[in-house]
Amino acid sequence: MIIYLLEKTGINEKRGDFTFGIALIIAGLLIDYFTAVYISETNTRAK
């Protein structure tokens, strides 16, 4: 889906790969952050 959108918007491949890489990194950081927050909250509630 994302690759399809990149092709449709006409972004060249180098730029598309770069943007996609940045998006993956940001997504990973957000997932790590929210997972850490969720785990710390459940640990606090358990005590």
What pLDDT score was predicted for residue 14? 65
Q: What mean pLDDT is reported for the chain? A: 76
Q: Specify the pLDDT at position 44.
A: 78
Rounded to whole angstroms, the Cα distance separating 1 from 5 reads: 6
Q: Could you tell me the CA-to-CA distances from 9 to 14, 29, 40 in Å, in that order?
A: 14, 26, 41
pLDDT of residue 2: 60
Residue 8 in tokens: 């449709």
What's the pTM? Answer: 0.52
If you search the block for the tokens 């640990």, which residue do you land on?
43
pLDDT in tens, 4-30: 666 666 655 666 678 888 888 999 999
